[in-house]
């Protein structure tokens, strides 16, 4: 009894411990060699990871449109500039000389045009005078023709009078011979006949003179017509000279405007309000704009809003769309998460070393001006998010049992060729044995996956690998592992 009183208490404790150890190790043997985890409930956020570059939403490269030597630089990095502000100057001496030459050519062209216009005015006046003379000559010709007709009529009348006077004179001579009229009557009619003969001669002379005048008028008319034709030819020539002078003036004016423009281009002007983020020139440097416009400055219009140009892998581009939220970090501020919104997913592919990516534009407010152009951004785009769902660690999805570990040999087809079954989890089923459970998976966050449906519930045990030192078939572990000690 003494012995029992002394050691009985410890014996009972030892027996209880042995029973507990037996229970523990007896139940553990059911899943010996496996890593057991539990299905639980929680939140899952599916996202796409990418890298990108922080840039201003809008920046303008300011270049030089003429070649020359920089004589003045008025801004530096981080300078605030206003639209229209002078920020640099190119040596203007050459362009000023070209402008002076163009101005002289312009004055000469204007003088030539005025001279040709004066010649045209004189030629038009000469044409008007020639046309007046032609009209006068036409009138003179018509008058000469009328005079000729009158002279012809007068000649016919005079000839008729001559014939009648001749007949009367001869008749009176016969009557005188018969003593029927006096000698005085014979003399009178003889005198009338002589007058009639003289009148015919005078009418013939008038007719001849009228003919000469008509011929002279016709010659004057031809001369006047020739003068008009010559004046018209002179008009056309003068008009051609004026048109040529106008064209020359237009050409010289264009050259003058070009010289003015080139001179203006020697002043480098800020095209927008903003901040200078790049300066590529110094005083004394020569810029050449012959083949390609050199970039002198880069002006960011607004650094309070920035954009991240993210390179999205072609496998992920179908998961994102405009309006999605994107988070990113930069190395300059570790631990600080910046949040923006996708405003554009560009369709143009970018291929580098056979890797195809697409650019996503993420707009973000630059609070505190912490983001700088050119920073590298590590981007996470939230594709989907679900709260309080059943989930399993991804390591359980990647587990592939060996044939001898199957509780039922008919499940051998599920692990043919060592491939991971698509929608299957494995539950422990006796010592070193497992059995499949059909489930339907949803979204994943890279460590855990949503279980949409299947014969599982919160707290169920599933196999996530082997715990006896043997390597699992999984391609890396993920999520959490809960060891069962029951």
pLDDT tens for residues 328-347?
999 999 989 999 999 999 99
Q: What per-residue confidence (pLDDT) applies to 350?
A: 94
Averaged pLDDT of the chain: 84
Could you tell me if 106 and 253 lie in one domain? Answer: yes
Q: What is the mean pLDDT of residues 52-56?
A: 95
Number of separate domains in the chain:
3
Q: Does residue 26 carry a pLDDT above 50?
A: no
Q: What per-residue confidence (pLDDT) applies to 299?
A: 93
Q: Band the pLDDT of 480: cuts 50, 70, 90.
A: very low
Q: What is the pLDDT of residues 61-70, one digit of tens each?
A: 999 989 999 9
Euclidean distance between CA atoms 159 and 152, whole angstroms: 11
Q: Does residue 218 carry a pLDDT above 70?
A: yes
Q: Does residue 473 carry a pLDDT above 60?
A: no
Distance of CA 353 to the CA centre of its chain: 30
CATH number assigned to the domain comprising residue 360? 2.40.30.170
Euclidean distance between CA atoms 384 and 136, whole angstroms: 104
Q: What per-residue confidence (pLDDT) applies to 15?
A: 67
- Least confident range from 39-53, 177-191, 458-472: namely 458-472
Query: Per the confidence metrics, is the pTM higher than 0.85?
Result: no
370: in domain: yes
Q: What is the mean pLDDT of residues 151-155?
A: 84
Q: Does residue 356 carry a pLDDT above 90?
A: yes
Q: Band the pLDDT of 401: cuts 50, 70, 90.
A: confident
Q: What is the DSSP letter of 180?
A: S
- The SS3 of residue 307 is strand
Euclidean distance between CA atoms 241 and 253, whole angstroms: 18
- Least confident range from 5-14, 96-105, 162-171, 340-349: namely 5-14
Q: Over the range 338-349, which residues count as b (16 or more CB within 10 Å of their CB) and which as e?
A: bebebeebeeee
Euclidean distance between CA atoms 102 and 89, whole angstroms: 22
Percent of the chain predicted with pLDDT > 70: 89
Q: Does residue 483 carry a pLDDT above 50?
A: no
Q: What is the pLDDT of residues 366-400, one digit of tens each?
A: 988 899 999 999 999 988 888 999 999 998 888 88
Q: What per-residue confidence (pLDDT) applies to 323?
A: 92
441: in domain: no
User: Which one is predicted more confidently, 156 or 341?
Assistant: 341
Q: Does residue 116 carry a pLDDT above 80?
A: yes
Euclidean distance between CA atoms 182 and 175, whole angstroms: 9
Q: Are 388 and 42 in contact (CB under 8 A)?
A: yes
Could you tell me if 187 and 325 lie in one domain? Answer: no
Q: What is the mean pLDDT of residues 199-226?
A: 81
CATH number assigned to the domain comprising residue 178? 1.10.287.1490
- The SS3 of residue 385 is strand
158: in domain: yes
Q: What is the DSSP letter of 318?
A: G
- For residue 380, the number of C-alpha atoms closer than 13 Å in the C-beta half-sphere is 14
What would the two tokens of residue 155 be? 């000649």
Q: What per-residue confidence (pLDDT) applies to 226?
A: 84
Q: Does residue 154 carry a pLDDT above 90?
A: no
Q: Which residue has the tokens 């001179």?
A: 263
Q: What per-residue confidence (pLDDT) applies to 278?
A: 92
Could you tell me if 225 and 253 lie in one domain? Answer: yes
Could you tell me if 261 and 340 lie in one domain? Answer: no
Q: What per-residue confidence (pLDDT) applies to 484?
A: 32
430: in domain: no
Please name which of 97, 129, 81 lies closest in space to residue 296, comparing C-alpha atoms.
Answer: 81
> In Å, how far are 292, 391, 440, 457, 484 from 41, measured between CA atoms?
62, 6, 16, 9, 18
Euclidean distance between CA atoms 416 and 468, whole angstroms: 23
Structural domain including 164 reads: 95-265
What would the two tokens of residue 424 be? 């299957």
What would the two tokens of residue 272 be? 């927008």
Q: Which of 356, 387, 418 is the last residue of a domain?
A: 387
- The SS3 of residue 185 is helix
459: in domain: no
Could you tell me if 245 and 321 lie in one domain? Answer: no
Could you tell me if 380 and 361 lie in one domain? Answer: yes
Could you tell me if 83 and 152 lie in one domain? Answer: no
Euclidean distance between CA atoms 210 and 450, whole angstroms: 130
Q: Band the pLDDT of 265: cuts 50, 70, 90.
A: very high
Which residues lie across from 439 on neighbouring strands?
A: 454
Q: Band the pLDDT of 181: cuts 50, 70, 90.
A: confident
Q: What per-residue confidence (pLDDT) applies to 108?
A: 92
- The SS3 of residue 144 is helix
Could you tell me if 241 and 201 lie in one domain? Answer: yes
Q: What per-residue confidence (pLDDT) applies to 8?
A: 60
Q: Which of 387, 405, 427 is the last residue of a domain?
A: 387
- Least confident range from 115-124, 175-184, 279-288, 314-323: namely 175-184
257: in domain: yes
Q: Band the pLDDT of 419: cuts 50, 70, 90.
A: low
Q: Which residue has the tokens 């956020």?
A: 45
Could you tell me if 273 and 254 lie in one domain? Answer: no
Q: What is the pLDDT of residues 126-142, one digit of tens each?
A: 878 878 877 887 888 78
User: Which one is predicted more confidently, 368 or 187?
Assistant: 368
Which residues lie across from 268 on neighbouring strands?
A: 88
Q: Band the pLDDT of 9: cuts 50, 70, 90.
A: low
Q: What per-residue confidence (pLDDT) applies to 221?
A: 76
Q: Which of 327, 359, 387 is the last residue of a domain?
A: 387
19: in domain: no
CATH number assigned to the domain comprising residue 279? 2.40.50.100
Q: What per-residue confidence (pLDDT) applies to 46?
A: 87
Q: Does residue 235 carry a pLDDT above 50?
A: yes
Q: Over the range 214-246, which residues count as b (16 or more CB within 10 Å of their CB) and which as e?
A: beebeebbeebeebbeebeebeeebeebbeebe
Could you tell me if 103 and 250 lie in one domain? Answer: yes
Please name which of 204, 225, 138, 228 lies closest in space to residue 212, comparing C-alpha atoms.
Answer: 204
Percent of the chain predicted with pLDDT > 90: 40
444: in domain: no
Could you tell me if 172 and 290 lie in one domain? Answer: no
Could you tell me if 238 and 200 lie in one domain? Answer: yes
Q: What is the pLDDT of residues 435-466, one digit of tens each?
A: 889 899 988 888 899 999 888 889 999 998 88
């Amino acid at each position: 009894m003494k012995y029992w009183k002394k050691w009985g208490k410890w014996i009972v404790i030892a027996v209880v411990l042995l029973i507990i150890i037996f229970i523990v190790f007896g139940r553990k043997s059911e899943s010996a060699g496996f890593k057991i985890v539990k299905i639980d409930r929680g939140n899952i956020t599916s996202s796409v990871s990418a890298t990108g570059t922080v840039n201003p939403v809008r920046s303008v490269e300011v270049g030089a449109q003429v070649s020359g030597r920089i004589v003045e630089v008025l801004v530096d990095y981080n300078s605030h500039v206003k639209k229209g502000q002078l920020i640099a100057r190119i040596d203007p001496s050459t362009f000023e000389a070209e402008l002076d030459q163009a101005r002289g050519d312009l004055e000469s062209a204007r003088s030539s045009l005025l001279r040709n216009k004066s010649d045209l005015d004189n030629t038009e006046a000469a044409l008007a005078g020639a046309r007046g003379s032609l009209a006068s000559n036409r009138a003179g010709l018509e008058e000469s023709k009328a005079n000729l007709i009158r002279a012809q009529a007068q000649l016919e009348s005079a000839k008729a009078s001559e014939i009648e006077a001749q007949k009367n004179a001869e008749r009176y001579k016969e009557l005188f011979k018969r003593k029927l009229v006096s000698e005085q009557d014979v003399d009178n009619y003889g005198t009338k006949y002589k007058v009639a003969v003289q009148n015919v001669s005078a009418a013939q002379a008038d007719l001849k003179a009228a003919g000469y005048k008509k011929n002279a008028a016709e010659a004057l008319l031809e001369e006047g017509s020739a003068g008009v034709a010559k004046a018209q030819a002179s008009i056309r020539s003068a008009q051609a000279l004026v048109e040529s002078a106008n064209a020359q003036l237009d050409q010289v004016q264009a050259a003058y405007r070009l010289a003015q423009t080139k001179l203006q281009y020697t002043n480098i002007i800020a095209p927008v309000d903003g901040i200078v983020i790049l300066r590529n020139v110094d005083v004394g440097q020569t810029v050449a704009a012959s083949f390609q416009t050199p970039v002198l400055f880069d002006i960011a219009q607004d650094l309070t809003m920035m954009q991240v140009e993210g390179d999205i892998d072609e496998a992920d581009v179908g998961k994102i769309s405009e309006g999605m939220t994107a988070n990113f970090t930069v190395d300059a501020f570790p631990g600080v998460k910046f949040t923006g919104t996708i405003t554009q997913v560009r369709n143009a592919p970018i291929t580098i070393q056979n890797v195809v990516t697409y650019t996503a534009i993420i707009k973000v407010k630059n609070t505190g001006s912490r983001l700088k152009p050119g920073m590298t951004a590590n981007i996470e785009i939230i594709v989907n998010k679900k709260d309080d769902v059943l989930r399993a660690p991804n390591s359980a999805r990647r587990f592939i049992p060996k044939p001898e570990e199957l509780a039922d040999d008919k499940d051998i087809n599920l692990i043919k060729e060592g491939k991971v079954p698509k929608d299957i989890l494995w539950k422990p089923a006796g010592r070193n044995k497992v059995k499949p459970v059909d489930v339907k998976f949803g979204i994943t966050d890279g460590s855990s996956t949503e279980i949409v449906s299947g014969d599982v519930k919160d707290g169920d045990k599933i196999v996530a690998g082997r715990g006896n030192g043997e390597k699992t078939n999984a391609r890396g572990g993920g999520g959490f592992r809960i060891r069962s000690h029951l």
